[in-house]
């Protein structure tokens, strides 16, 4: 295994943990946290590529910065929705929000 593979393995592990959290958790706040985990897994992968690929240095970190900013904004909106939803449903359990049921 070369050096970059270690980083990628770490990123894959984090991503899978995050995905599992998104799919399996019932608490919306925990889901959002898992989402952050997935985003940061991607950040690690991008930073690793940026470090190990000579031509990609500037562009990789550039993307990472973008994703961090985006994640902050996303969490803001997401938490605001959670709060609004809590006011309506008195709950933060995702399985209780079933207005989309056909």
Partner 1 sequence: MHVLITLIPLLPLAGFIVTLVFGRGLLARRPEIVSLAAVTASWVLSMIVVVHVFGAHDKTIDFNLFTWISAGSFHVQWGYLVDSLTAVMLIVVSTIGMLVHYYSIGYMRGDGGYYRFFAYLNLFMFMMFMLILANNYLLVFLGWEGVGLCSYLLISFWFHKKSASQAGKKAFLVNRVGDWGFMLGMFLMFVTFGSLQFGKVFAKVPFVSPGIVTWISLLLFVGAVGKSAQFPLHVWLPDAMEGPTPVSALIHAATMVNAGVYMIARSYPLVSHSHTAMLVVMIVGTFTAIYAACIALTQNDIKKVIAYSTISSLGFMFMALGAGAWVAAIFYLFAHGFFKGLLFLGSGSVIHSMSDEQDMRLMGGLRKKLPLTFWAMLIGALANVGLFPFAGFWAKDEILGGDFAAHYYLVWVVGLVTAFITAVFMFRLMFLTFWGENRASADVQHHIHESARTMTVPLVILAIPAALLGLVVGLPPDGGFMHHFLSPVFYNVEQEHFAWAGRGGALLLVSLVIVVAGIYTAYVAYLRRPELPARAAARVPWAYQASQRKFYMDEFYDVAVIRPVMGFALWLADVVDTKVIDGAVNGLARGWDGFGRRLRPLQTGRAQSYAFATFAGLFVLIILIRYIWGA
> Residue 32, Cβ neighbours under 10 Å: how many?
19
- Is residue 1 close enough to count as binding partner 1 by CB under 8 A? no
State which of residues 22, 29, 30, 47 lies at the interface with partner 1 (CB under 8 A): 22
In which element (H, E) is residue 13 found?
Answer: helix 3-24
Instruction: Give me the least distance between CB of 23 and partner 1, in Å please.
Output: 5
Binding positions for partner 1, 57-96, rule CB under 8 A: 94-95
Candidates 6-14, 17-25, 45-53, 65-73 — which segment interacts with partner 1 by CB under 8 A? Answer: 17-25
Residues 4 and 52: beta-carbon distance below 8 Å? yes
Q: Decide: residue 102, CB within 10 A, 0-12 exposed, 13-18 middle, 19+ buried.
A: exposed
State which of residues 31, 38, 45, 71 lies at the interface with partner 1 (CB under 8 A): 31
Instruction: Give me the least distance between CB of 93 and partner 1, in Å please.
Output: 10
- In angstroms, how far is CA 12 from the centroid of its own chain? 12
> Can you give the binding site for partner 1, defined by CB under 8 A?
19, 22-23, 31, 94-95, 97-102
């Amino acid at each position: 295994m070369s050096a970059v593979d270690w980083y990628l393995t770490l990123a894959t592990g984090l991503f899978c943990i995050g995905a599992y959290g998104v799919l399996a958790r019932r608490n919306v706040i925990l889901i959002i946290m898992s989402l952050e985990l997935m985003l940061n897994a991607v950040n690690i992968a991008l930073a690793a590529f940026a470090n190990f690929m000579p031509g990609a240095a500037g562009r990789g970190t550039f993307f990472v910065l973008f994703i961090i900013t985006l994640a902050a904004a996303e969490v803001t909106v997401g938490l605001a929705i959670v709060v609004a939803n809590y006011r309506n449903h008195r709950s933060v359990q995702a399985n209780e929000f079933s207005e989309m049921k056909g």
